[in-house]
Amino acid sequence: MTTLDPDPAAEDPVAAVDALVAEIAPVLRPPAVRRRDVVMVTGPWLAGVSAVAGVLAERLRQWPVVEAAELPPGEVPTAVVFVVSAAAAMTESDCALLDAAAAHTDVVIGVVSKIDVHRQWREMQQTAREALADYAPRYRDVAWVGAAAAPERGEPRVDDLVAELAKQLGDSDVQRRNRLRSWEFQLRTDADRIDRDARAEGRRARVTLLQEQRDEVVRQRRMSKSERVIGLRSRIAQARVQLSYFARKRCASVRGELAEDAAGMTRRRLPQFEAYVRGRLEEVVADVDQGVSEHLADVAQELGLSGDAAATTSTPQFETGAPALSSRRLETQLMTLLGAGFGLGVALALSRLFANLAPGLTAAGAVACVVVGVAVTVWVVRIRGLLRDRAVLDRWVGEATAALRSALQELVALRVVAAESALTAELAERNETEAVRAADRIAGLDRELREHAAATARAAAVRDRQLPTLHRALAAVRSELGGSVRLDGGEAKLGPPRGPGGSVRLDGGEAKLGPPRGPGGSARLDGGEAKLGPPRGPGGSARLDGGEAKLGAPRGPGGSVRLDGGEAKLGPPRGPHELGQLDPPNTARTAAD
């Protein structure tokens, strides 16, 4: 005779829960927490947590009582006592504190402390119950008690708390439900993480930022290239106008100076005048050349380019010739004749004057008049020759400055063209360098965008592959914690059964289930589950595994629905996984034939 070994999962509720989840999702690892047989007392600041913990430690000697700070990371309690003060309403941060403390624990008891000094503690207890139920549906069935752990007078009033805690800790289903709650937290966390990774809100923001940066790089590249080309052309055009004006102005200035010098020319300085003029013209050429170089260097510096474009080129040559001062024979003869006639006239006039004034000095006067006439003749001829030389020099200066102006204009044009060519070539090289740099930057952004796209696709694939399994496992865990029954389109959560053929909790209400109608019909209560078939009509009935539940038409989203002659109140939906609820004061009876 062979004796079968008992199934460990049937004896160990934790192993049974792990086996249930592993049957749906074998790849999932169990929750990485260690359950300690302790009662943890926690709550907001100044709520009386330490006082409640101290009293419970004295009254519950078989259960160690700790506060939240005494549990190391990775360890979770068997039960959580959440203490709030009757002096202040429960806030959302208090709910979040409880949610973090009881993430792996199903046994939760709410305590309103300091009831000895706050007479309105029952109203505060109801407010706390409603606030906690609104925060998370799992807390709708949390038991709330009042307590005075450290009263000003009398003994501590914690009997209700001790009784409720002993009642819940004495339930044989505590380990199983705590393990289910750990699995629910882990499955919900994993599902939220996978869904969050697939939604990739942070990645989408990063992708948007990368796309904006890419567009900005392309726009800056295009704008900077156009701005530099336009700036170069504008500055070259301005330089051409300014340098041409500078050359003309410089030529006009030297023309005036040389004309003034020619007008005051004397016989003594006449031989050096030509060399002087040529030297002055060379100085003007050098000044203009230096001015052009400096101006083009400034243009290159303003454009952010090198100054090599302003390097000097060969100075243009110009011919001025020599002034025509020697070929004046006919003019000299004519001036000599005219001067002799003028001197003769002067001599005759003086001789007549002397003859009338001093007849005795006629001979001496005649000699003197001849001398004066010859002197006047020589003076007239020399003066006329000097004036003629000045006129020739003035004309020659004009021709020389005109030639100089043409040469300087040619110099300016050549230098500007050379500078434009050099700057354009250098600007093209810089544009090419920046284009390469921008292309590298764009390639890096595109590479990161492709990586984000691939990561998003991988996350979506992981979500599509793992999320349905996680949802099935989560639905199974929540079904074990409290199943659901659909009432004419609404949904009500079913708690664990109280007994075969007995009653099952329906979100605080009760649904009485009778015995099955026959061999072909059944009403399953294993784990708190009652199966309803499809309704036959808005005011018809729904099959209950062979039995029937009469369903009337709903009166509204928060109204009621007739259930076999009775009424079940349906409240508004509480969350994405719970479509409706039954008001606690109402009881619905489902009679199976």
For 147-182, letters b (16+ CB in 10 Å) and e give bbbeeeeeebbbeebbebbeebbeeeebbbbbbbbb
Check if the beta carbon of residue 560 is closer than 8 Å to that of residue 512.
no
Task: Give exposure, 21-60, as e/b (b: 16+ Cβ within 10 Å).
Answer: bbebbeebeebebebeebbbbbbbeebbbebbbbbbeebb
pLDDT in tens, 91-117: 999 999 999 999 999 999 999 998 888
Contact 67, 50 (CB under 8 A): yes
Burial of 431 (0-12, 13-18, 19+ CB in 10 A): middle
Which pLDDT score is estimated for 77?
A: 94
Classified by CATH at the fold level, domain 8-196 comes out as Rossmann fold (3.40.50)
C-alpha–C-alpha distance, residues 355 and 366, integer Å: 9
Show me where the domains of the chain are located. 8-196, 211-455, 482-590
* Bridge-based pairing state of the strands 65-67 and 39-42: parallel
Closest CA to 39 of 93, 84, 101: 101
Q: For position 332, what pLDDT does the model report?
A: 66
pLDDT value at position 572? 38
pTM of the model: 0.54
Q: Tell me, what's the pLDDT at 358?
A: 62
Which token pair is 186?
A: 């882990």
Predicted confidence (pLDDT) per residue in 370-399, tens digit? 777 777 777 777 777 777 777 878 888 888
Q: How far is CA 486 from CA 422, 564, 574, in A?
A: 85, 15, 15
Residue-level pLDDT at 523? 37
Q: What is the DSSP track for 104-148?
A: T--EEEEEEE-TTT-TTHHHHHHHHHHHHHHH-GGGTT-EEEE-B
**Cβ burial, residue 532 (10 Å; 0-12/13-18/19+):** buried
DSSP designation for 303: T
* pLDDT of amino acid 299: 87
Weakly modelled stretches of the chain, pLDDT under 70: 1-11, 307-319, 321-335, 353-366, 483-593
Tally helices (H) and strands (E) across the chain.
11, 17
Q: Is the dihedral of CA 444, 445, 451, 454 positive or negative?
A: negative
Q: What is the token pair recorded at 510?
A: 């009760």
Render the burial of 240-258: b for 16+ CB within 10 Å, e for the rest: beebeebbeebbeebbeeb
